[in-house]
Chains A and B, each alone.
Chain A
């Protein structure tokens, strides 16, 4: 029994030291709660927020619930109870609505970082899907001089990707000499590459003449990678078919760096999203009303010119 008392007391001391280290001062206290800290994109976002908040002298408490979405609600409740000045979430707000309601009832503002819009959020800071699609569709239109036959890979059932497709539709429709020969919705159950490759193989078979396909515009990177594989497998990589994707996933960056048909993709500025969230929060702390329900952070078109910088990051 004496031993267990010793253990209990020493644990209390350890915890008290932690307590002393983290408690103190009057600066705003902000909790960042996410289940996805292990994912690289989220890590950059949170680090970006933390760096900006450190500069402003805020106390930031980053809480990772390691994939557990219900625990995000629990931690929101704890933070509301603790009376923090603001909460930041990086998770689908619909799934943590129970927690958002608790925060709203207590008058504690919640910001979304690449989270999704929700009336219970002050604002959601993210990338503009319309703008990303405009970047790559414009790139294609310019590369082929607004003339030629284009294959599109889209996915309309998923709203964030659907909005990319309609922008590309508009840009290609504005080039009278561009003909969209196919608008393909690949089966994404296998991750999107394999089925896109099969679909592209069918398009290549149906258009056997060199120069009969000018470009492939894909609403995200996986179909673009599948199309690249199909074109290379068919031995048609020297026909000058331009391929573009969106998201700048590592495989796509490698493909762009390799200098083949895959010429461009779009990278989200993750640390910029974190920093912009901190800026919006600072405006709110200083009494301003944030009227934008979504704040967009500019994205970066990645081509041969700047892909090396992206790979370094």
Chain B
């Protein structure tokens, strides 16, 4: 063997290893898709089903994509679920008060921004651990949602048709039989948020600085990064994302309930974690989060269609998350 060839081999081996380490989750995702395609022939791989899935995960997607922004810095936001509920309640109360749809949506998003600002001040300027700070605000936002709504579900005539029909609508892209196939509005919103977060994190100086904070906040600060301000901004963006997710949810169910966003938080964090297993450095990247969101959505969709018991479904989804993270950390230890 020539020295050149040996050097070539030395170069290529770690690249192979790297590819294997980071693609385990993706391979798992493909395995899941193949498995469902075989077991649910005809329907699983159809375009209508994938449009369904895209719409079903759109709310989780928006919350998880924006959650990625704070998790890049190694922070968390546990308050996103109750912020989503609160945003829905605020919009619905304004609708009940005969305010226009746009006004309700803008005020609800502003509340998301303010909630994120509050989280950001607690974490970044007062210095409370994000876990504790956002656990506190989770409870506060939740209480506020209950207080404002009187614990009731706001629905029926209070919710304008313009608002609820948004989640049912889409852009016509063809037809299956007599049914018109729509590219759902909710999916479009999620894709726009995905694009914006991707641009922010991967293509701007701000994004690179957020990753620098996640790598070593102290070094970033000494390197001239305005750590406090950036953390504050990141939490505000996550807050707006949570509020937007909550509005999408409220539009989909044509109602607002003070607890309806509660399930989004853990799923969003799980999606980001699943995505992190796909990065060499174990950093969150928004495209990884997208795969995480799709894994959760596809499992829900496929296992439902296979008529797996809902409780067994939960156990399986949990087990798959644990398996993905385990295999990724085992592979990394073995390098």
Contacts and interface: CB of A to CB of B under 8 A. Distances in A.
Interface of A: 1, 3-5, 7-8, 11-12, 14-16, 18-19, 22-23, 29, 31, 59, 61-71, 73-75, 77-79, 81-83, 92, 94-98, 101, 105-106, 189
Contacts of A7: 323, 326-327
B68 interface: no
Give the size range of B's interface with the partner: 35 or more
Given A15-B308, A63-B310, A74-B56, 15 more contacts: A1-B21, A3-B327, A4-B24, A4-B324, A8-B327, A15-B316, A16-B39, A69-B255, A74-B301, A78-B304, A92-B155, A95-B153, A98-B168, A98-B254, A189-B150
Interface of B: 20-21, 24, 27-28, 31, 35, 39-40, 43, 46, 48-49, 52, 55-56, 59, 150-151, 153, 155-156, 164, 167-168, 179, 249, 252-255, 257, 259-260, 262-263, 300-301, 303-312, 316, 319-320, 323-324, 326-328, 330-331
Contact of B320 (A11, A65, A77): A11
A7 B308 CA distance: 20
Contact of A95 (B40, B253, B307, B320): B253
B21 A94 contact: no
Nearest to A83: B43
B305 A81 contact: yes
Contacts of B46: 81
Contacts of B311: 64
A147 B309 CA distance: 56
B253 A73 contact: yes
Contacts of A101: 168
Contacts of A63: 304, 310
Contacts of B323: 4, 7-8, 11
Nearest to B259: A67
B168 A78 contact: no
A21 to B, nearest CB: 9
Nearest to B257: A69
A7 B25 CA distance: 11
B215 to A, nearest CB: 26
Given A11-B319, A95-B255, A59 B307 contact: yes
Given A67-B259, A78-B52, A4 B307 contact: no
A75 B304 contact: yes
25 contacts: A4-B331, A7-B323, A7-B326, A11-B319, A22-B306, A22-B308, A59-B307, A66-B263, A67-B263, A70-B249, A70-B253, A75-B304, A77-B55, A78-B304, A81-B43, A81-B46, A81-B305, A82-B304, A82-B305, A92-B153, A94-B254, A95-B253, A97-B254, A105-B179, A106-B179
A83 B42 CA distance: 11
A73 B39 contact: no
Contacts of B31: 8, 12
A69 B310 contact: no
Contact of B35 (A12, A23, A96): A12
Contacts of A12: 31, 35
Main secondary structure of the interface of A (DSSP, over half): helix
A101 B182 CA distance: 13
A94 B304 contact: no
A77 B28 CA distance: 25
A1 B25 CA distance: 10
Contacts of A83: 43
A75 B300 CA distance: 8
Contact of B328 (A4, A23, A59, A79): A4
A83 B307 CA distance: 12
A68 B260 contact: yes
B36 to A, nearest CB: 9
Contacts of A92: 153, 155, 255
B88 to A, nearest CB: 11
Contacts of A82: 40, 43, 304-305
A304 to B, nearest CB: 35
Contact of B155 (A5, A94, A98): A94
B26 to A, nearest CB: 11
Contacts of A15: 35, 39, 303, 306, 308, 316
Contact of A8 (B20, B27, B150, B306): B27
Contacts of A105: 179
A128 to B, nearest CB: 22
Contacts of A97: 164, 168, 254
B304 A79 contact: yes
Contacts of B319: 11
Contacts of A31: 307
A68 B260 CA distance: 6
A266 to B, nearest CB: 25
A23 B306 CA distance: 7
B137 to A, nearest CB: 21
A1 B63 CA distance: 31
Contacts of B24: 1, 4
Contact of A77 (B20, B56, B255): B56
